[in-house]
Amino acid sequence: MLSPCDLATASAPPPADPRPRRSRSRPATLAHLADRDLTSRTEAELIAQVLEGPGPAVDALRCGRELARIPMWQRRSLGIAGLIEEHGVAAERAVRLAALWELAERWYPDDRPAVQCSRDALLVLEDLRLARSERIVVLLLDARHRPLRRETVAVGSLNASRLQPRDVLAPALRIDAAALLIAHNHPSGDPAPSRADRQVTSALRAAAEVVGVRLLDHLILARHGHHSFREAEGWESDPAANGA
């Protein structure tokens, strides 16, 4: 016969396992959410999920919206440093995004638009037209005149004492660009070049020729139009720009 102690032991539930149990339903739930929701997500939401997983915080969604506005070719050219310095992305997030876009670069064909004329460049630099302060931007191009990188080299009025040729050419030499295009805006709304604009353009053309990087154009963008030094001054035609 069992003693009262034995009966109590036999009827008592087994002791609880002190080790935490992993929910078996969680992976299936997440997989179900992914299958159901990913195709309906906006690009900004997908970027936020890359940063933080299935339930991104508000700041990750805000970051995703800002980055989704950047053209794909420009995102790919930013790199980790560009994401941090130009868009204020935290270092850990910048590494994740740069890795994602590196995969995109390997998986999909190059969709960068070739800059073959001033009109092509204006489409790439359209946001500069409405900037409230004067900005000097350099568009760096490869041998087929596809954008490699866009850099803001100065903020403020363009003049020869402030903007030296090395400020423009150093980024081009750093990434081995074959050509470049410089652009700046006139917040006044009038794209007519000033005397300083002409002086800087002349100095840049001469310096670019010395180092072997072709200066395709200098564009001035304003609300009421634009000025192309190449078109206005009849710079020589460039076979590479025409797909040769």
Q: Rounded to whole angstroms, how far apart are CA atoms 56 and 232? A: 50
Do 158 and 237 share a domain, yes or no? yes
Do 65 and 166 share a domain, yes or no? no
Residue 83 maps to a domain: yes
Do the beta carbons of residue 51 and residue 67 sit within 8 Å? no
Do 179 and 143 share a domain, yes or no? yes
Do 128 and 99 share a domain, yes or no? no
Residue 238 maps to a domain: yes
Do 218 and 135 share a domain, yes or no? yes
Q: Domain residues for 93?
A: 41-107
Q: How many domains in the chain?
A: 2
Residue 24 maps to a domain: no
What tens-digit pLDDT sequence spans the chain (244 residues)?
Answer: 544 444 444 555 555 555 555 444 444 455 555 555 677 788 888 888 888 887 788 888 888 888 888 776 677 677 888 888 888 888 988 898 888 888 877 777 666 778 888 888 888 888 888 888 888 999 999 888 988 888 888 887 666 557 788 888 998 998 888 999 999 999 988 999 989 899 889 999 999 999 999 999 999 999 889 999 999 988 865 444 444 3
Mapped onto helix, strand or coil, the DSSP state of residue 76 is helix
Do 125 and 223 share a domain, yes or no? yes
Residue 8 maps to a domain: no
- Using a cut of 0.75, tell me whether the model's pTM lies above it: no
